[in-house]
Chain A
Amino acid sequence: MNVAIAAPPSAAARHSRRRKRRSKTALVTICFGVGAIYFIPLVWVLSMSVRSAREILEPGLIPQSFNPENYGDAWERYELGKLFKNTGIVTAGTVLLGVALSVTAAYGFSLVKSRFGEFAFTVLLLGLMVPPAAVIIPFFIGMRELGLYDSLLAVVLAETVFVLPLGVLILRAYIESIPKDLSDAARIDGASEWSVFARIVFPLILPAAATVALFMFLSAWNGFLLPLVLLRDPNKTTLTVGLSQFSGQFGSFEWHLVAAASAIAVVPVLLVFYLARRYYVQGLAAGALKQ
């Protein structure tokens, strides 16, 4: 190695610098190339969504005509307002209930250290592993026996159960990283257990709660199996179930409208996802790598 350092800038060194620059250009090309390929499905749908009915069989990524009225047509034709409302109710309910339950449960887990608590935590980890499809039958039967079948409440409750384990896991880890001295000091000053939680712990865990809320939002908004199984009334369907149905029914000859509907369904979630990406990455690191 000494030889290489001691030698003056030679032809070989210049050559290697040039090679370095060339490999860098190659990397940049790969970045933009692969990134562009990755964007094709989304760009293609957007392109289809503004085409005329005749043009949907035409090739290419660039539409020949521009028909933004497709969006209004799709909204009316597939009653997207209704689907949006139902999906919104399910998502809001799941996020509110899920965050409330996972914050209190995580705080409980961190306060009470008992063998029973450890067992409950193991059950929680089991909840992370079990695929929703595998326990859909008891959910279906249970909701029916409770008289909740075909109600949005059933979907909210079921979605909450599936998002809860990850929420508790992330929040518990976060709460345990808060120095105990803080809450102990407050207790010595005579603060009640509730005010310790409300005034000290809760404000500190807000970033983690945001991460948890984001995961719950995504999972409820994008959920498919639970609304598919737990709802029957077409007036209560959610966006994903509705889209899968009319894509199958009309997709071949109304693809411009189905594409517009897909774009409408995708935009809010991608916007939230993009803006909150920091929280997603944090949650991923906390949830996936440090279980």
Chain B
Amino acid sequence: MLLFIVILLVPVVAVIVLGFSGWTGFDLQQIRWEGARNYWELTKDSFFLAAFRHTVVLIAATALLMNALGLAAAMVVNSRVRGSEFLRIAMFLPLGLSPIITAVIWQRMLGPFGIVNEALGWFGISPVDFFGQPRMAFIALIAAYVWQYAGYNMLLYYAALQSLPTERVEAAAVDGASKWGQFRHVVLPYLRPVVAVVVILNLIGGWKIFDIVYVLTGGGPNRATDVLATYLYEQSFTFSNVGYASAIATIIIGLAVVSSLTRRAVAGSDTA
């Protein structure tokens, strides 16, 4: 257990401590302590603020889509109509893929000769340069991310639906409630605490976004899709600004921990 504390806690403490240093170049002799200067710099660093904004937008958009898609798919799979097993497997498989593979595939799919532009052509839409325009690059990231991870939400909602008291739904049906009414007034209130937990899990996962951005857009075009983790990587391993990067890392840890504590608070108040 002591070993655990050492290997898990030391890196976190080290990052927090290094966040107060003006260390550049990874040479242990050259550490200088500068107090909160890195944080002061961060408040003025437009690249950092943009990366923060992009991360939040990305998390919000993907969480919204993944929950809508995940919940809808879980309801369909739970109804056990023919084909629902097919849908379940289709959404499940990408979860086992490396985000790198996802990024490699989507990069070509959305490229000039990719199948997406081909499909847009059928509707008379001229080819879209997905990686040349900020807004389109964002859409590319969101699409790839949702494709890969919506199955995760589907599985969680499906697991929750297994314990849905069916008598209540049947009672509503006997009372003449429509399918939508049954969902709106019986299923959704029942799932509310689960939705809260899943959204927060998406949030925690969202702060980690790195691989898919690094390979799919590389943070481009011109930093338009830079996220916190890619900016951190660039600061530490391209520019060797170790102290500055550690301050960014501390902020990411803080955001992730706060999100997790919210999750525990939610789980504590409701029974999820």
Contacts and interface: CB of A to CB of B under 8 A. Distances in A.
Contacts of A273: 93, 95-96
Contacts of A244: 100, 103-104, 214-215
B124 interface: no
Given A120-B5, A266-B97, A289-B197, A28 B82 contact: yes
Interface residues of A, number: 92
The winner among B1, B73, B249 for most chain A CB atoms within 10 A is B1
A6 interface: no
Contacts of B104: 243-244, 247, 251, 258, 262
B84 interface: yes
Interface string B79-91: 1011110110111
B149 interface: no
Contact of B11 (A60, A135, A165, A285): A135
A59 interface: yes
B108 A34 contact: no
B186 to A, nearest CB: 16
B100 A224 contact: yes
Interface stretch (B33-41, B134-142, B252-260): B252-260
Contact of B249 (A40, A119, A135, A280): A135
Given A34-B73, A138-B10, A262 B101 contact: yes
A34 B90 contact: yes
B14 interface: yes
Given A243-B104, A258-B104, A284-B159, A32 B83 contact: yes
Contacts of B207: 131
B50 interface: no
A129 B1 contact: no
A164 B100 CA distance: 23
A240 B98 contact: yes
Contact of B8 (A39, A123, A272): A123
The winner among B12, B82, B98, B197 for most chain A CB atoms within 10 A is B98
A78 to B, nearest CB: 12
B101 A126 contact: no
A194 interface: no
Interface in B232-272: 232-233, 236-237, 242, 245-246, 249-250, 252-253, 256-257, 259-260, 263-264, 267, 272
A240 B79 CA distance: 38
B131 interface: no
A104 B179 CA distance: 50
A145 B257 CA distance: 28
Contacts of A1: 174-176
Nearest to A247: B104
A117 B1 contact: yes
Contact of B260 (A40, A124, A129, A289): A129
B81 A136 contact: no
Contact of A39 (B1, B18, B90, B250): B90
Contact of B87 (A34, A119, A262): A34
Interface stretch (A41-49, A64-72, A185-193, A202-210): A41-49
A273 B151 CA distance: 14
Nearest to B256: A129
A137 B107 contact: no
B142 to A, nearest CB: 15
11 contacts: A30-B76, A39-B90, A41-B105, A120-B2, A138-B15, A140-B26, A243-B101, A247-B104, A251-B108, A281-B155, A289-B194
